[in-house]
Structure formats: structure tokens, C-alpha cells
């Protein structure tokens, strides 16, 4: 499969009748990503404003490439070593060069990566389907032992204030990151109350004593914040959605909540004034489906913590003899006038896709292969 330079990175491009996606060789980042919705091309995924710039050699590859979506193992900053192991931010899977294994079709990419730590291999499958405005990702981890946090790191870009309405399936625990997410002394600023627990993303405590509504974005310009919502694992699938009513479309991500147990919102709206961010990363929200202890990394996720004490897993246990599969779908669909914010998502009969219903009672259907989420066996987090 041929590659070409896109925004400074060697990239393989996949095409179907409804979707175009680039996959970078370095880091395996998906971007740019475009979906065909009726006569329109929708490009909801973020690409870092410094893409293609010459950055200092000390800049981690993940930041040099940063775009769209990528698989993280181990998920998180990984600032703390695990014994003698020190992982890069979001792991080798988001930084190292992937080997393309298959060039048999322009709609399926198979790439692999040998892990230096903890060993083993990850096989990446990115699949497009004609007629589906969707991207199907499957990561198969084999030959690895022990526990690590994992996640998909999707990033959406909304240029106008209040452009999108955000919602997600029922969750059992919601919390602002309990530490200091940004430090003013280093040029970073946050506004949510550290460690605050909430039951609705429309009512999240701020540090100034007020409340923040996280359902509308962009908002709170000049700040960076991070919250995590732990999914209800009894559901057959979990979802996160961004509705753009002014343009008539909705973006939705779907996962198996027994594999990817939580959803992180990384709310990035110009709150980082250090390089390479320099205050220019604005209107971006990371919608990250993870099994992790917030964004800290492997050390903090594999040891007992406040979440595991509540029965919420923060790492996936790998068995060298049994491959672990992580499946994930993101899709875009057209919505009717009056559709405001996604309230429910239902599976359609005979695997014909999903029906999304808004709080206002309007409905829309999106064609996709929902059975993909449970393909190759349902794995569980620990």
C-alpha cells in the first residue's frame, strides 16, 4: 500500500464510497478523516495547528504527529516508571513506526508493531465499508503479559463557540481529574474543581464555586480541563456523541464498555501557553474511550487506586497465550431540523445500524456494522 506525505507525515490513505481516512506510519494516527453525508464532506477530526512545522528534536513523536485518533498502550502521560520500564506518552503505539502488513485493498489497512515493553505485538486493522460513513478499528494485542491501561484517543475540532452539543450513554461515576491538570507557573490554566464528583456533565463544579455545562462546546476559552465518566458495563454497547445541529450532522463513537470502561473528555481551548501549544490549540475536545486511571499512565493505573476501590477497572490484564481484542467505531450521520442533542442510541434489527434520538424527540438512522464491536471475542478489563 502506497504512502504519501500529508501534513509532514508518511500516510496511507483508505477510501470507500462514504469515508476517506489517512493513517500515519509514525504513531498510527488517523487523520485527516472525512465522511460523506449526503452531498457534504464532513471533517470533524482535529489536526494539531503545528502539523508540518519543524519542532525541536526533543519533542515526543506523538506531539509531532498529533491528529485525529490513535490507539494508546499504555494510555496516559506515563511520567512515572514501572520498575525499570519507562513508557513514552500514550505508549509506543502512539509514537513508534508501524509496519504495513497488507496492501490487498484500499478499504482495509493491516499494520503491526512489535512492543519493546512489555513485549508482544499489536496488530492494527482499520476498515472502511462502502455506504457506511464510519471507521472501524480493531487492535489485537498478542504475546503480552501483565496489566496496562489502554484507550482510543479521538480528537474533535469545533471552530465556533457553542457549536457542538456533547452527550454520552449512562455512566456510574463522573469526576474531574483529582490532581493539578495544568500549572500556571508553567503557562497552563484549568477552571474545573480538581477531584469534583458529578452525576451530569451539564453540572460540573468549577474552581471559582460556579458550575460548568460540558454539554456545549467550545466553551471556557483559555482553559484546559480533563474529566472522566465511567460507563455502565451492563450495557451491550456504550456511546459518546457530538451533535452539530447548525450543519445537520452528528458524530458518534461506539465501544464495548467491558473492554473500554470509561470516557475521558480532554477539553482543550487555548489553556496551554508553552511549546508547541503556545495558546493556539483551541476548540478541540479529546473524546477518549479508555480503561485507565484518568490520564496519568501505567504506574498509576495498574496499582490499587480510588477507582479500583469502587470496582471500576483502570487497566486491562493481558495473557501471553490469549490475544486481547479492542474494537472501536466512529461514524457520522445526517440529522433532521430540530435535532438538538443525542439522548439515546438503539441498535436496529438485523445489524442494519443504529437509531439515534434527540432530547427533542427527533430521530435519525446511521448505517453501520454494530456487530463489529463484539467480533473476535469479547474481552474484559480487570
Beta strands in 200-347 (DSSP E): 204-205, 211-212, 216-217, 223-231, 238-244, 249-255, 262-269, 284-291, 316-318, 324-334, 342-347
Tell me the three cell numbers of residue 215: 454539554
Residue 101 falls inside a structural domain: no
- What local confidence, expressed as pLDDT, does residue 106 receive? 82
- pLDDT for 170 equals 98
Residue 195, in any domain of the structure? yes
CA distance 27 to 98: 7
Rounded Cα–Cα distance for residues 354 and 344 (Å): 10
In a domain, 109, yes or no: no
Task: Find all residues with CB under 8 Å of 371, minimum gap 6, and list them.
Answer: 351
Q: Walk along the chain (382 residues) in steps of 10 and give the mean pLDDT of each run.
A: 92 96 98 95 98 94 98 98 95 98 82 92 97 98 96 98 98 98 97 98 98 98 98 97 98 98 98 97 98 98 98 97 97 98 98 98 98 69 54
Residue 58 forms part of a structural domain: no
Kindly state whether residue 87 falls inside one of the protein's structural domains. Answer: no
Nearest to 277 by CA among 29, 50, 22, 42: 50
> What is the number of structural domains in the chain?
1
The pTM assigned to this predicted structure is 0.96
pLDDT score for 377: 42
Query: What confidence score (pLDDT) does residue 2 get?
Result: 83
Rg of the chain over Cα atoms, rounded to whole angstroms, equals: 19
The phi and psi torsions of 117 (rounded to 5 degrees) equal: -145, 125
Write the DSSP symbol of residue 64: H
Q: Please give the C-alpha separations between residue 319 and each of 116, 121, 365, in angstroms, as whole numbers.
A: 17, 12, 38
Listed residue (334, 341, 100, 368) closest to 241, CA to CA: 341
Cell of 322: 490469549
Residue 381 confidence (pLDDT) = 56
Structural domain for 315, as ranges:
115-374
What pLDDT, on a 0 to 100 scale, did the predictor assign at position 338?
A: 98
340 half-sphere exposure, CB direction, 13 A CA radius: 6
Query: Is residue 4 a part of any domain in this protein?
Result: no
Q: What is the pLDDT of residue 118?
A: 80
- CA-nearest of 267, 69, 71 to 176 is 267
Q: What is the pLDDT of residue 378?
A: 39
The verdict on residue 38 lying in a domain is no
Q: Are the C-beta atoms of residues 126 and 92 closer than 8 Å to each other?
A: no
| Integer CA distances (angstroms), 239 to 13, 235, 368, in order | 26, 10, 14
Q: CB of 204 within 8 A of CB of 214?
A: yes
Say what the pLDDT of residue 49 is: 97
pLDDT at 104: 57
Tell me the C-alpha to C-alpha distance, in Å, between residue 234 and each of 157, 169, 227, 376: 31, 12, 22, 20
CATH number of residue 303's parent domain:
2.70.98
DSSP letters along 111-161, please? EEEE-SSS-SEEEEEEE--TT--EEEEEEEEES--EEE-EEEEEEEE--ST
- The DSSP result for 177-227, as a single string, is -SS-SS-GGGTB---B-TT-EES-TTSEEBTTS-EE-TTEES-STTEEEEE
pLDDT for position 375: 82
d(CA 298, CA 362): 42
Q: Which residues pair with 284 in a beta bridge?
A: 157, 268
Look at residue 197 and tell me if it is in a domain: yes
Residue 49: Cβ within 10 Å count = 16
Amino acid at each position: 500500500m502506497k504512502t504519501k506525505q500529508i501534513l509532514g507525515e508518511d500516510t496511507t490513505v483508505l477510501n470507500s464510497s462514504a469515508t476517506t481516512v489517512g493513517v500515519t506510519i509514525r504513531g498510527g494516527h488517523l487523520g485527516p478523516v472525512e465522511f460523506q453525508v449526503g452531498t457534504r464532506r464532513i471533517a470533524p477530526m482535529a489536526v494539531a495547528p503545528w502539523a508540518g512545522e519543524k519542532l525541536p528534536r526533543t519533542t515526543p513523536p506523538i506531539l509531532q504527529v498529533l491528529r485525529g485518533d490513535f490507539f494508546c498502550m499504555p494510555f496516559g502521560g506515563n511520567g512515572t516508571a514501572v520498575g525499570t520500564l519507562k513508557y513514552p506518552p500514550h505508549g509506543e503505539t502512539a509514537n513508534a513506526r508501524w509496519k504495513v502488513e497488507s496492501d490487498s485493498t484500499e478499504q482495509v489497512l493491516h499494520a503491526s508493531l512489535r512492543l519493546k515493553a512489555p513485549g508482544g505485538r499489536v496488530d492494527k486493522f482499520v476498515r472502511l465499508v462502502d455506504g457506511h460513513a464510519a471507521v472501524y478499528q480493531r487492535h489485537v494485542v498478542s504475546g503480552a503479559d501483565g496489566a496496562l491501561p489502554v484507550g482510543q484517543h479521538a480528537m474533535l475540532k469545533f471552530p465556533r463557540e457553542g457549536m457542538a452539543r456533547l452527550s454520552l450513554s449512562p455512566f456510574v461515576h463522573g469526576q474531574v481529574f483529582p490532581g493539578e491538570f495544568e500549572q500556571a507557573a508553567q503557562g497552563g490554566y484549568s477552571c474545573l474543581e480538581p477531584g469534583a464528583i458529578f452525576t451530569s456533565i451539564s453540572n460540573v463544579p468549577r474552581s471559582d464555586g460556579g458550575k460548568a455545562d460540558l454539554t456545549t462546546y467550545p466553551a471556557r476559552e483559555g482553559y484546559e480541563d480533563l474529566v472522566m465518566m465511567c460507563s455502565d458495563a451492563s450495557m451491550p454497547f456504550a456511546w459518546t456523541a457530538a451533535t452539530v445541529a447548525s450543519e445537520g450532522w452528528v458524530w458518534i463513537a461506539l465501544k464495548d464498555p467491558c473492554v473500554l470502561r470509561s470516557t475521558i473528555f480532554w477539553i482543550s481551548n487555548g489553556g496551554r501557553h508553552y511549546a508547541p501549544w503556545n495558546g493556539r490549540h483551541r476548540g478541540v475536545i479529546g473524546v477518549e474511550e479508555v480503561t485507565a486511571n484518568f490520564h496519568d499512565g501505567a504506574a498509576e493505573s495498574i496499582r490499587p487506586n480510588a477507582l479500583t476501590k469502587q470496582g471500576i477497572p483502570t487497566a486491562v490484564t493481558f495473557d501471553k497465550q490469549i490475544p486481547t481484542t479492542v474494537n472501536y467505531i466512529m461514524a457520522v450521520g445526517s440529522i433532521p431540523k430540530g435535532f438538538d442533542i443525542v439522548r439515546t442510541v438503539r441498535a436496529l434489527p438485523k445489524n442494519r445500524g443504529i437509531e439515534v434520538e434527540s432530547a427533542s424527540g427527533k430521530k435519525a438512522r446511521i448505517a453501520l456494522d454494530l456487530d463489529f464491536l463484539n467480533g473476535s471475542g469479547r474481552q474484559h478489563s480487570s
